Structure 1
Amino acid sequence: MVRPSGKHGSARLVVICVSLLGLALIADFLWASSSSSSSSNSAFSSYHDLILPSNDKPKQPQPKKKEDASGRVLSATFADLPGPELKWEKMAASPVPRLDGAAVQIKNLLYVFAGYGTIDYVHSHVDIYNFTDNTWGGRFDMPKEMAHSHLGMVTDGRYIYVVTGQYGPQCRGPTAHTFVLDTETKQWRDMPPLPVPRYAPATQLWRGRLHVMGGSKENRYDPALEHWSLAVKDGKALEKEWRTEIPIPRGGPHRACIVADDRLYVIGGQEGDFMAKPGSPIFKCSRRNEVVYGNVYMLDDEMKWKELPPMPKPDSHIEFAWVFVNNSFVIVGGTTDKHPVTKKMVLNGEVFQFNLGTLKWSVIGKLPFRVKTTLVGYWNGWLYFTSGQKDKGPNDPAPKKVIGDVYRTKLKLSL
């Protein structure tokens, strides 16, 4: 047997040592990679709100459906809020259906103005509903120059002040005209026009002045912040021009505007609206993005806007959908945020209460269906609503049919 020389043995020993060292380094690298990967997966899994895309979607539990006394099935469709069921009675329907009409109540009479009959036809007259005998009557015409929808309107108990709005069907332009109606004589008078036309501005009488604020600008889309006022008394303007007031914090149309305890409140609304399609000879309405909100703003002696607790959910198209009862604002229906999946407009089916004593909102009832631009009144313990656009059915909150129906329910509010 031949033995290797000392030189060759040393070389072989070096090769063996280097090989062993390399194997150790590789094993260490593989162990470190495995440990690092395990650590990363553990950290990732700790973020419970982060969900990886998957084709296997877990099945969501189906909400139970309820049925009220009228047989309406209520589902947990997007944005429906829980609330007690109310017993609604269907009364004599309005002579015509209305969308985006206007209304004010004087004693036992509800004066209902203008509005769309269809997207291509607008009304230019007034109908009157008598709460005492629950009948319609006393129809009369509006001035030819008066807007047909998106009006600003308020009453002092005899005179009805009518401000600006959209003139004509589809998405035609606004007018700056203002008028006053003497409800005892049925006579109309002109008033000083607004500085610029507006769609659906918040409008109220406060401290001897007619206040007009917000709304949409002349293009029907951009929210306006301007706030003007005009001194008025007994159906007459005491000034020739509108006075500039403190701008509203957030602009836009379709808001409730209420005076209570010598304070001015502006509630809900939206930014953006349908616009006329460019080049359309009939000003055909074209959908644009809208942002609905539930902000509540108040003006008092300090003449600075203060923000109060917001509505339970965003709500718009409520400018004539309110009454003031037992130190509370009651708001009926409206629209809220679009459906997150279908992107369709979603109507509200709730009756909201804002208690001025507690500054708290609550859902005090459900409507017989979801509906926007309701015209609301209150008489002898009964809450009434008429007109507007109702939903497609219990399982679809998108708008469909324009109605003239009248409903009422007994209203009991906790103080």
Structure 2
Amino acid sequence: MRLGRYSHSHSHKHPSAPKLVVLLCVVGLLGAALIADFLWASSSSTSTALRYVTSNWSVHRASTIIVPNNAVNRSSVHDDKGKAKGQKKDGVPERFLSATFADLPAPELHWEKLPSCPVPRLDGFAIQIKNLFYVFSGYGTIDMVHSHVDIFNFTDNTWCGRFDTPKEMAHSHLGMATDGRYIYIVTGQYGPQCRGPSARTFILDTETKQWSDMPPLPAPRYAPATQLWRGRLHVMGGSGTNRYDPEVDHWSLAVKDGKVLEKGWRTEIPIPRGGPHRACIVVDGRLIVIGGQEGDFMAKPGSPIFKCSRRHEVVYSDVYMLDDEMKWKNLPPMPKPNSHIESAWAIVNHSIVIAGGTTDKHPITKKMILCGELLRFDLDTLKWSVIGKLPYRVKTTLVGFWDGWLYFTSGQRDRGPDDPSPRKVIGEMWRTKLRF
């Protein structure tokens, strides 16, 4: 402003040579800075767009975007008083934000709504055996947990049965695997809010609905990666007894036809990165572990009800495979960090399909951000792609696949199209026809 007033009010006079040199230098420096800033922002925006449009996700790097003043960001950035931290008075954010929390571009799919699960549930688990879908336990609300199994029949799309779980069995954050008749259940959280874990383990005979015990785990865990592989039940990672510390322990137990063949668990090679809420899949003789997080909600110190209190969490996109030599190998990472997907996957046409989940927290509000994408990992090419959108964003949903249809039920959904933070625990059942 001072330069402008000088040149305008004294336009009839010629400035001295030193003053003119200073003026030209200042103008030149300002111009150079503006050009550099424009080029940097353009380059960042372009690279971000390319990163999220491409279907080849073999490499994932952190990216940045300049948050625009649009409806999505207004709803997710503003706090309860209608003001956002880090914004100017005109509502435009002043900082560059990580783009990993944003929705990925995805094609629309036609979803058909089916009869809802008899109860809404969060952090439950599901196992599919042929056309039957066994949906286990979970939270009803933060203060109430379920202690039963609901059964869905994919043949006629009806909920067709219910039976109780053992009184000693955990209610959420379970680990599960099946051999096609018997379901093996390990560890998990016992009770509502953020109560402690149990090391108890069980076997369910799905034909007789009879339960039996297995040896307890060497230490209790929350939401460990669990699978049957080469005649052994493998349990890996999860959170430790305080519900927060990521653990890397890996144990296995020989089992066959619902019988335990050993007296105790055997220590195996640790998983490269610990933590809960990841998918664990055996396909083509390969054991694959996908996504997850480090850290979780913890019980508030001194709370008589173990009230949940949020702590810092790190969500990651890592994918590991255990090979024939019992060595872990890195596979191409997910399109973005993703957690709460332990039962949100299905094998479809030699691909792994994953529905929903959670990703990096919002960098301004620090709220948890849910995912609404349907991801595909092609086991032939080892490439990730985004193949569709869910009806809404949802975490810890339960996924099955039957006769060309992909199903999902339960979990915790978002607050609406413009607010990806979690709100309502649901029991809805949806399906869509997959073609690829």
Query: How high is the TM-score relative to the length of structure 2?
Result: 0.80
> 372, 377, 383: which one pairs with 2:406?
383
Would you identify which runs of 4 or more consecutive aligned residues in structure 1 move more than 2 Å? 27-51, 58-64
1:14-413 maps to which residues of 2 (within 5 A)?
Answer: 47-48=36-37, 60=68, 62=70, 79-413=102-436
Task: Name stretches of at least 5 consecutive residues in structure 2 with no aligned partner.
Answer: 1-15, 42-65, 73-98
Deviation at 1:60, TM superposition (A): 3.7
How far apart, CA to CA, are the structure 2 residues paired with 1:46 and 1:289? 38
Q: How many residue pairs end up in the alignment? A: 370
Contact 1:316/1:336 (8 A) holds in 2: yes
In structure 2, give the amino acid aligned to 1:328.
S
Residues of 2 paired with 1:326 and 1:82: CA distance?
Answer: 23
Aligned partner letter, 1:329:
I
State the shift of 1:78 in Å.
5.2
1:304 deviates by 1.2
Q: Percent identity?
A: 75
Once the two structures are superposed, what CA deviation does each residue of 1:196-232 show, in whole Å capped at 9, x if it has no partner? 0000000000000000001000000010011111111
Structure 1 residue 325 displacement after superposition: 1.3
Deviations 1:116-167 (A, max 9, x none): 0000000000110000111112211101110000000010000000000000
Alpha-carbon offset, residue 341 of structure 1: 2.1
Deviates more, 1:399-408 or 1:42-51: 42-51
| C-alpha distance in 2 between matches for 1:340 and 1:94 | 34
Cα distance in 1 for residues equivalent to 2:102 and 2:201: 37
C-alpha change, 1:335 and 1:60, in structure 2 (3 Å) is: closer
- Measured in 2, the distance between the counterparts of 1:225 and 1:122 equals 28
Where in structure 1 are there 5+ consecutive unaligned residues?
1-26, 52-57, 65-75
TM-aligned CA deviation for residue 302 of structure 1 = 2.2
Task: Tell me if the contact between 1:369 and 1:394 (Cα under 8 Å) persists in the aligned partners.
Answer: yes
Give the 3 Å change call, closer, same or farther, for CA 249–77 of structure 1 in structure 2.
closer
Structure 2 distance, partners of 1:47, 1:163, is 57
For residues 312 and 116 of structure 1, the distance between their equivalents in structure 2, rounded to whole angstroms, comes to 29
Higher alpha-carbon deviation: 302-311 or 191-200:
302-311
Give the match for residue 22 of structure 1. Answer: none
Amino acid at match of 1:142: T
Native 8 Å contact 2:345 2:400 kept in 1 = yes
AA matched with 2:272: P
Find the aligned partners of 2:406 and 2:140 in 1 and give their Cα distance: 24
- SS at structure 1 position matched to 2:187: strand
Q: Is the 8 A contact 1:228 1:242 kept in 2?
A: yes
Q: CA RMSD in A?
A: 2.3
Aligned-residue offset at 1:343? 1.4
Q: Is the 8 A contact 1:77 1:396 kept in 2?
A: no
Letter in 2 for 1:295: D
Equivalent-residue separation in structure 2 for 1:140 and 1:232 (angstroms)? 24
SS in 2 for 1:149: coil
Shift in Å, 1:240: 1.0
Residue of structure 1 in register with 2:3 after alignment: none
Aligned-partner Cα distance in 2 for 1:86–1:43: 47
Structure ID, larger Rg: 1
Q: Distance in 2 between matches of 1:209 and 1:77?
A: 36
